[in-house]
Amino acid sequence: MAKMSYKESDRDVIGAINTYVPVFYMAAVEGKPSLIAFPDEGSKRYYVNCLKGALSGLAIQLMAYSVTNNRAYIVIASWDQAPVSFLNYLEAVNGLYNQYYAENFINCGSAFKEEIRHKRIKDAAEAIQAVAIVHSQPAVAGLCAGFTDYEFTSYNEFSGGGLSTLVPLYQVMGREEVINRYLAAHSFIQGLPQGFMPAEKQDKFDVEFENCPANFGYFGREAVPKEVLAKVIIDLNEKSGYNFDFITDSVIRQRKFVIQKSTGPVHVARTKDQLKYELLVMVVAEMCVRLKCTYDGALARLGAAGDATLQKDVIIYINNKLGYGYRYLMELLGFAYPNPVFFRDLVRYMCEIKGYSKVAVFEKLSVIDKALIF
């Protein structure tokens, strides 16, 4: 695990500076619905280290933070009037944390939703309120009773009267007034401002699903190509947390849509379970290629089960679509290489089930490693 250190004196600001009076932002990052972004104390502690370690070189200062089980809240002072600097900062923080998450939990591309919720704070008085709101969120989430009995918040860093992270406010109002307002704002637990985080969607699955294909340029209602449906499944899983079985059972078994192949309608004799399996192959492949999930990470996000046959079919699907060789495919899916036992099973499967010759398989998978050729 990479160690990060942070000292205020070490900051050498080289980022965009276009104002002498800081502007303030409140922001939140949220884990994906199908994951827990911060599953244990070590992960929360690491994210705090990322928040502090990524500050160098940016014209911003971290004023407050709290990390709960699936969200992180922060207040930032910025000397860049546009939100570019602090959004770049949060993307860097999340990038560092995603590497840690992949190494220690599961490689699922990103632990967080794509959107970073944020608002510009109108003045210093509201910034102090925002600090108190951020410090309140662990108690609001039921993780502690008050401000002082939770480790992963900046509130305890203010002990001893230092209040060093509030220094940007001194440019706007005097130190004594800042401290008095700070103490008053922390006299009670505060919830998030109305509308800051999106309310839970009340739309039924039917409505969400029917609106989703249009996000991928498909506006038909009589037939949905499997390639589009695979992207729709990923989108619904990503945004709303529906698992693979729920989506496919709702769509296929209730016949909300007539589903097509790229080359024509699905044959009547094809069973629903066969169609579900084909969709699972496509969805897992898409998540590995586009979202940089490992095979196991994709299945974890989907809440789906896999077996050795699925592994082989995902490899064959990606190879057919993109031409990737065996070595790169194993790396992409997070499998061990060269893994000769698995390779022999894959060759046998492609020969006996898919109809390839052994020589054709070696050529198709770009295999030149003598340890694999038999």
pLDDT bucket at 249, cuts 50 / 70 / 90: confident
Q: Of the given ranges (46-50, 73-77, 220-224, 326-330), which has the lowest mean pLDDT?
A: 220-224
Q: How confident is the model at residue 236 (pLDDT cuts 50, 70, 90)?
A: confident
List residues bridging with 293 in a β-sheet.
108
What does the pLDDT read at residue 7? Answer: 39
Is 39 strand, coil or helix? coil
Q: How confident is the model at residue 266 (pLDDT cuts 50, 70, 90)?
A: very low
| Sequence-distant (≥ 6) Cβ neighbours of residue 194 within 8 angstroms | none
> Does the pLDDT at position 288 exceed 70?
yes
Share of the chain above pLDDT 70, in %: 84
* 103 has pLDDT over 70: yes
Does residue 252 carry a pLDDT above 80? Answer: no
In this predicted structure, what is the pLDDT of residue 10?
36
Three-class DSSP category at 339: coil
Mean of the per-residue pLDDT values of the chain: 83
Q: Say which range, 198-212, 224-238, 259-273, 279-293, has the weakest mean pLDDT.
A: 259-273
Sequence-distant (≥ 6) Cβ neighbours of residue 20 within 8 angstroms:
79
pLDDT greater at residue 350 or residue 274: 350
**Confidence at residue 14, expressed as pLDDT on a 0 to 100 scale:** 45
Average pLDDT over residues 321-337: 93
Model pLDDT for residues 152-196, shown as the tens digit of each residue: 999 987 654 445 578 888 878 888 898 899 999 999 999 888 778
The whole-number average pLDDT for the span 276-284 is: 94
Most confident range (mean pLDDT) of 21-25, 84-88, 277-281 is 277-281
Is pLDDT of 201 > 70?
no
* Max CA separation in the chain (angstroms): 81
* Model pLDDT, residue 299: 93
**pLDDT digits 0-9 by tens, 115-166:** 889 999 989 999 999 999 999 999 998 899 888 889 999 998 765 444 557 8
Tens-digit pLDDT profile for residues 341-350: 999 999 999 9
Map residue 63 onto helix, strand or coil. Answer: strand
The enclosing H or E element of 258 equals strand 258-261
* C-alpha span between 336 and 342 (Å, rounded): 9
Q: How many CB atoms lie within 10 A of CB 340?
A: 13
Ordered alpha helix ranges (H), the chain:
41-53, 84-104, 124-140, 167-170, 175-185, 205-211, 226-240, 244-248, 272-290, 295-302, 308-322, 326-333, 340-352, 358-364
Confidence of residue 287 (pLDDT cuts 50, 70, 90): very high
Cα–Cα distance, 216 to 304 (Å, whole number): 24
Query: What is the side-by-side strand order in the sheet with 264-265?
Result: 223-225, 258-261, 264-265
Provide CB contacts within 8 A for 107, sequence distance 6+: 101, 292, 293, 294, 296, 297, 334
* Edge-to-edge order in the sheet of strand 71-78: 60-67, 71-78, 23-30, 117-121
Q: How confident is residue 202, by pLDDT bands cut at 50, 70 and 90?
A: very low
Residue 35 in contact with residue 29, Cβ under 8 Å?
A: no
Residue reference for tokens 């990524």? 54
pTM of the model: 0.70
Phi, psi of 249 (to 5 degrees): -65, -40
- What confidence tens digit (pLDDT) does each residue in 63-82 have? 999 999 999 999 999 988 88
Query: Residue 240 has what pLDDT?
Result: 80
Q: What pLDDT was estimated at residue 253?
A: 62
